[in-house]
């Protein structure tokens, strides 16, 4: 990154760090190359943001058609997830919270695997995780833990191991605004500051933790400022600005590799309900949603920026839409062909060798199911 861009990314600002306006206008004199992005990178980021939004629609569709039992939407948070994920070096580690779908996609997590997990297919841990709790060893993405904030001290522990083993690796750990009000946040940041672990803490502040608004999560002026107390830098970023998110995360990784933990707060907004087990219109003013969708939509802003650069047109948009639709449908079809876990799997894997009484229960159930023709 150039000196000029680095100077623009300052910790502890009162206003969020922003590269482009709501209309995709550059807010200072920079080129994509200044933050290490080519035109191809910009188009790739745009594609992944669109893919993330379209993935969500399919995920919701699968629950509505009874093919999945649960889903968590990420719509509205495409820039925060895709652009931060794009800035993670290949060999580094990712600890997601539960609303980081764009990170998985941009990291190359196969669509088929994602849908197979959502639809509870056998090969994915015998469907023993809730839908949307993805993880993949070879991509260095740690499986989501459902308890909010759990991943924070875990990530710092891995950071301590990296230091102990003297490896040149770093970690990004995601958390929501609600998660920052958990004790785990405090423990993790304390340890990270004291032991100088190579960790980037990335807070997606989407204004809500299910039905609890951010004003019930913190009394400070923002979350980023809390970093001061832990001896690290805190960056307050417009999470719906893909360039600001990318550049700040990239800078944070440089610092993390230098054993300086960093806190990033990305300001964004959740369009949908918390999950399919929630109904946001029961507690949220629809005007708030409308404001975010109309003014700050991350995909619209990226499109307007690409348009200014002359690398976007309607024809390409249409091609992308068609390509994405085809990719997603193909992946769903393939995932659906995979086997569901049989009832016997409920009894497996507790003991190395199944004891007689469990075997008896299992046989009884299987016999009953057979008799009922289930």
Ligand X SMILES: Cc1ncc(C[n+]2csc(CCOP(=O)(O)OP(=O)(O)O)c2C)c(N)n1
Residues with a known catalytic role:
270, 274, 283
Q: How far apart are CA 126 and CA 124, in angstroms?
A: 5
Any contact of residue 209 with Mg ion (CB under 5 A)? yes
Rg (the chain; Cα; Å): 22
Shortest separation between residue 184's beta carbon and ligand X, angstroms: 8
> What does DSSP assign to residue 23?
T
Residue 210 binds which entry of ligand X, Mg ion, none, CB below 5-8 Å type-dependent: ligand X
Are 233 and 216 spatial neighbours (Cβ–Cβ below 8 Å)?
A: no
Question: Which residues 6+ apart lie within 8 Å of 216 measured at CB?
Answer: none
Q: How far apart are CA 194 and CA 206, in angstroms?
A: 29
Contact status: 107 vs ligand X (CB under 6 A): no
Q: Does 84 bind ligand X (CB under 6 A)?
A: no
Question: Of the two residues 19 and 185, which places its CB atom closer to Mg ion in the complex?
Answer: 185
Helix (H) or strand (E) holding 231: none
Nearer to ligand X, 267 or 324 (CB): 267
Shortest CB 178 distance to Mg ion, Å = 5
- In sequence order, the β-bridge partners of residue 266 are 204, 237
CB 214 → ligand X: shortest distance, Å? Answer: 8
Taking the least distance from each CB to Mg ion, the nearer of 59 and 176 is: 176
* Least spacing, CB of residue 130 vs ligand X, in Å: 10
Binders in 165-194 for ligand X, by CB under 6 A? 176-179
Report the relative pairing of strands 93-95 and 199-205 from DSSP bridges: unpaired
177 binds Mg ion (CB under 5 A): yes
Number of residues interacting with ligand X: please give it, by CB under 6 A: 15
Beta-strand pair 208-209/212-213: antiparallel
Strands across the sheet containing 199-205: 93-95, 171-176, 199-205, 262-267, 233-238
Residue nearest to ligand X (CB): 176
Q: Does 202 bind ligand X (CB under 6 A)?
A: no
Return the residue matching tokens 């994920």: 85
Question: Which chain residues interact with ligand X by CB under 6 A?
Answer: 99, 146-148, 176-179, 204, 206, 208-210, 270, 274
Question: Which chain residues interact with Mg ion by CB under 5 A?
Answer: 176-178, 206, 209
């Amino acid at each position: 990154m150039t000196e000029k861009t680095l100077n623009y990314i300052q910790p502890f600002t009162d206003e969020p760090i922003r590269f482009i306006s709501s209309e995709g206008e550059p807010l200072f004199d920079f080129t994509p190359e200044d933050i290490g992005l080519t035109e191809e990178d910009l188009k790739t980021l745009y594609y992944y943001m669109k893919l993330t939004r379209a993935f969500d629609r399919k995920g919701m569709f699968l629950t509505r058609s009874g093919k999945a039992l649960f889903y968590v939407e990420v719509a509205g948070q495409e820039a925060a997830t895709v652009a931060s994920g794009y800035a993670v070096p290949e060999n580094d580690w990712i600890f997601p919270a539960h609303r980081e779908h764009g990170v998985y996609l941009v990291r190359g997590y196969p669509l088929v695997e994602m849908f197979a997990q959502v639809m509870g297919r056998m090969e994915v841990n015998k469907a023993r995780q809730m839908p949307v709790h993805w993880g993949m060893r070879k991509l260095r993405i740690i499986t989501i833990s459902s308890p909010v904030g759990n991943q924070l001290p875990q990530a710092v522990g891995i950071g301590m191991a990296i230091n102990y083993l003297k490896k040149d690796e770093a970690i990004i750990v995601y958390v929501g605004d609600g998660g920052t009000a958990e004790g785990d946040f405090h423990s993790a940041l304390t340890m990270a500051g004291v032991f100088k672990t190579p960790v980037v803490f990335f807070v997606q502040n989407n204004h809500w933790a299910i039905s609890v608004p951010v004003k019930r999560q913190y009394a400070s002026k923002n979350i980023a400022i809390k970093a001061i107390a832990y001896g690290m830098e805190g960056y307050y970023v417009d999470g719906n600005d893909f360039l600001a998110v990318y550049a700040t995360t990239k800078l944070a990784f440089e610092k993390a590799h230098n054993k300086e933990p960093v806190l990033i707060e990305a300001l964004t907004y959740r369009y949908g309900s918390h999950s399919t087990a929630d109904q946001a219109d029961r507690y949220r003013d629809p005007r708030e949603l409308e404001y975010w969708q109309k003014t700050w939509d991350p995909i619209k802003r990226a499109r307007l920026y690409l348009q200014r650069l002359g690398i976007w047109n309607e024809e390409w948009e249409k091609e992308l839409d068609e390509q994405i639709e085809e990719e997603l449908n193909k992946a769903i079809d393939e995932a659906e062909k995979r086997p569901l876990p049989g009832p016997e799997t409920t009894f497996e894997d507790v003991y190395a060798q199944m004891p007689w009484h469990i075997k008896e229960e299992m046989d009884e159930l299987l016999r009953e199911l057979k008799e009922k023709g289930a």
